[in-house]
């Protein structure tokens, strides 16, 4: 399971570890490698995990994009996808999540880490501000580069997703302006065997596993469709 932009393995574990354990799946969550190697390191971690047998891959936001990108390249090594909060299809363009990451990178460059985190605390839900205050320092000098890399990297296109023949579960928050639930619906529409389940940001703030449960339940439903 791969973390989102500026997030880390601690948060992605809090989302997925227990929901996946409930269906007998062990969670591997690599720590981010900050900077220019961020995406390549995550993709390499998936390669390593799938060395002996196909794996269930997934992640949150940018991590969801990378997991799907890897599955498109390695369809025979992927047993399915559990994806939370995909942020765009294809090129990022002016997607809210890409704009937010670019703005955060610019703010860190201008005001430094503490100043940028103070800005986050003013506008984001308290639980999210706390998560970023914990995760961002771990990126060190690579934080700006990591944010900019994520903001500029294309997600799979609808056509690429259409070629995936594995079950895919997608979780969305109906009240998330950064990861609109309409994007999750567009991913599900493009995928042959996919389902979406939703929750709300306040619920995730109290219980991060709610996001993982939504993705896993959607994956189970999609798996039933694939067998029909």
Q: What is the pLDDT of residues 19-44, one digit of tens each?
A: 999 999 999 999 999 999 999 999 99
Tokens linked to 59: 């992640």
Non-local CB neighbours of 54 within 8 Å, separated by 6+ positions: 76, 77, 78, 79
Whether the CB-CB separation of 57 and 70 falls below 8 Å is answered with yes
For residue 47, the model assigns a pLDDT of 98
Task: List the structure tokens of 66.
Answer: 């990378």
Q: Going from the N-terminus, what domains does the chain have, and what CATH number goes with each? A: 9-91+154-227 (3.40.50.1820), 96-149 (no CATH)
- Extract the runs of DSSP E, i.e. beta strands, from 18-144: 55-60, 78-84
| Cβ contact 164:71 at 8 Å | yes
* pLDDT at 155 (0 to 100): 98
Average pLDDT of adjacent 10-residue blocks, the chain of 228 residues = 97 98 97 97 98 97 98 97 98 98 98 96 93 97 98 98 97 97 98 98 97 98 71
Give the pLDDT confidence score for residue 220 in this predicted structure. Answer: 97
Q: Where are the beta strands (DSSP E) in the chain?
A: 55-60, 78-84, 168-173, 194-199
Residue 223: its pLDDT value, please? 84
Contact between 82 and 26 under an 8 Å Cβ cutoff? The reply is no
pLDDT for res 225: 60
Residue-level pLDDT at 33: 97
pTM as predicted? 0.96
């Amino acid at each position: 399971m791969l973390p989102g932009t500026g997030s880390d393995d601690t948060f992605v574990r809090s989302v997925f570890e227990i929901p996946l354990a409930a269906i007998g799946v062990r969670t591997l969550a690599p720590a981010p490698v900050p900077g220019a190697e961020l995406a390549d390191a995550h993709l390499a971690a998936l390669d390593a995990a799938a060395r002996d047998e196909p794996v269930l891959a997934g992640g949150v936001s940018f991590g969801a994009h990378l997991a799907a990108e890897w599955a498109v390249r390695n369809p025979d090594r992927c047993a399915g996808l559990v994806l939370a909060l995909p942020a765009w299809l294809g090129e990022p363009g002016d997607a809210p999540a890409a704009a937010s990451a670019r703005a955060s990178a610019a703010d860190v460059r201008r005001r430094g880490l503490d100043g940028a985190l103070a800005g986050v605390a003013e506008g984001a839900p308290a639980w999210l501000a706390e998560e970023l205050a914990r995760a961002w320092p771990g990126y060190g000098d690579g934080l700006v580069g990591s944010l900019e890399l994520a903001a500029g990297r294309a997600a799979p296109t609808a056509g690429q997703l259409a070629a995936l023949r594995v079950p895919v579960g997608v979780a969305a928050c109906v009240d998330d302006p950064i990861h609109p639930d309409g994007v999750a619906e567009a991913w599900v529409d493009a995928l042959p065997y996919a389902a979406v389940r939703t929750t709300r940001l306040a619920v995730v703030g109290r219980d991060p596993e709610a996001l993982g449960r939504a993705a896993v339940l959607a994956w189970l439903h999609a798996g039933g469709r694939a067998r029909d």
